[in-house]
Amino acid sequence: MRPLDFNLLRVLEVLLEEQSVTAAAARLNLSQSAVSKQLSKLRETFDDALFERTASGLKATPRALQLAPELREVLRQLDQFTRPSTFNPADSRRRFRMHLVETAYSLTFPHFMPQMLKLAPKVRFNSQTWSHDSMDQLLRCQIDLAITCREWDKRSLLHMDYLPEELAYAEITRDKSVCLVRRGHPLLDEPWNLDTFLKYRHLQVAFGGLEHWLLDDVLALDQLYRDIAVNMTDFTGALKTCENSDLILCAPEKYITHMMPGNELVCLDVPVDVEPGAYVLVWHKHFNLDPSHKWLRDLIIDGVNKAQPNW
């Protein structure tokens, strides 16, 4: 490998993310020809094509994919080495990356995003839905922050104590599950208890990379199981399905509070004794002393805390 020009590493990172010279040039505030020339230098440096042109854009070569995690680690260390000791949000062009479980968007974004955009008009914010590899990305510092669901119930494998020690967290709010059924559902004419809860079939929404809930783990301890007729990954579709069927839908109460208006659904308590879970803001401890990172964390936490009395 030829001597490495560290100025090219940012270009390689953006190309890996955008898979397009045009999009990379826009992000880097460079011309397409300048990015193409830097890509040529990268190819010479690593003695590999790095990207192949396809009908849908650039496709990373196996060598480029192999370099990606090492590249992110090198850039992370360079960022740490050159990180300023102060942060001026008005002038910052920092790009934050964040993953959230679906139900966290409505509970958080409206309460911090307007203030962020006002105070830091040049900052860019890239959010994606929490998935199976989000935890790994947090641990590799590939994303700055995440909001995910954790449990306080000792019977859960997702208990707060089981978060990796490399991560720091702040609890944003606690929430519990509730049951939703359509108006006129036959169970509304019966005693509402565990027997009735298990008598009818259920609709389940898998979100946040989770395919089952603490509720099912607790039931299984007593050899009890819900009859889950339908699995979905979309709460909006699930609400409509519940509204037009005799299926029971279990969902987080605070999220449902935002989604319920306009739906012909009745909300009932879950007849199973479980502790409320929590939405937690999570980040790698590497960012603890980063002033821009701390600024955003505080903005999110303060914004959500101020909104909670109205929930």
Q: How many domains does the chain fold into?
A: 3
* Model pLDDT, residue 81: 66
DSSP 208: T
* Model pLDDT, residue 186: 97
Residue by residue, pLDDT tens for the chain (311 residues) are: 556 777 788 899 889 988 899 988 888 888 999 999 999 999 988 899 999 998 888 899 999 998 888 887 787 777 666 666 688 999 998 899 999 999 999 999 999 999 999 999 999 999 999 988 899 889 888 899 999 999 999 988 889 999 999 999 999 999 999 999 999 999 999 999 999 999 999 999 987 666 667 899 899 999 999 999 999 988 889 999 999 999 999 999 988 887 766 668 999 999 999 999 999 999 999 889 889 999 999 999 999 999 886 66
Q: What pTM value is reported for the model?
A: 0.73
| 3-state class (DSSP) for residue 63 | helix
Distance CA 79, CA 306 (A): 32
Question: C-alpha angle with apex 130: 11 to 286, nearest 5 degrees?
Answer: 60
User: Is residue 89 assigned to a domain?
Assistant: no
**Chosen domain end from 27, 56, 82:** 82
Q: Are residues 158 and 241 part of one domain?
A: no
Question: C-alpha angle with apex 157: 156 to 163, nearest 5 degrees?
Answer: 115
* Model pLDDT, residue 70: 82
Q: Are residues 252 and 283 part of one domain?
A: no
Q: Are residues 23 and 137 part of one domain?
A: no
Q: Domain of 244: which CATH number?
A: 3.40.190.10
- Structural domain span for residue 124: 95-174+278-310
Judged by phi (left if over 0) then psi (alpha if -120 to 50, else beta), residue 183 lies in beta
Q: Are residues 116 and 63 part of one domain?
A: no
Q: Is 230 exposed, middle or buried (0-12, 13-18, 19+ CB in 10 A)?
A: middle
Q: Are residues 106 and 42 part of one domain?
A: no
Distance CA 18, CA 60 (A): 11
Q: Are residues 268 and 191 part of one domain?
A: yes
